[in-house]
Amino acid sequence: MLHYKVTKKYQRGPEQAIAKFHNLDDAKLFIEAKLEWDQRYKVEVNYILYDFDDVLEEYGSGSATSGGASSQGQGAQQTNSQVFSPSPLQMAPRPGSVPYSSFKDVKKSDDDEKK
């Protein structure tokens, strides 16, 4: 029976089991290799190391935390670095008499008006 389980969890999405190991050192080497690859390709993913069903350590974003209780509440404390920026088309100046429309105005052709 395999003793240690490694899962990965992206920022949004379910946790996925990716590997199982007999040895703790092998599991840590696997996680370090994955983290190196993720840093190279700028992928944000957390790796969680389990001893059966108990969380041993959580790795991700260049840091590792240990202990089950501290890593469980960590997701709520993370800040979102994404910033909302509106489309430049919505900020374009338009005459004051023209109301704002989020849909593109479709102009009728002369053939449609004659029918």
In this prediction, residue 50 carries a pLDDT of 95
Distance CA 115, CA 20 (A): 71
Q: How far is CA 29 from CA 12, 26, 69, in A?
A: 25, 5, 24
pLDDT attached to residue 1:
75
Give the chain's length: 115
Which residues in the chain show pLDDT less than 70?
61-94, 98-115
Looking at residue 14, its pLDDT comes to: 93
Q: pLDDT digit string (tens) for 99-113?
A: 666 665 555 555 555
- CA dist list (Å): 93 to 9, 39, 106: 44, 42, 19
Q: What is the pLDDT of residue 69?
A: 42
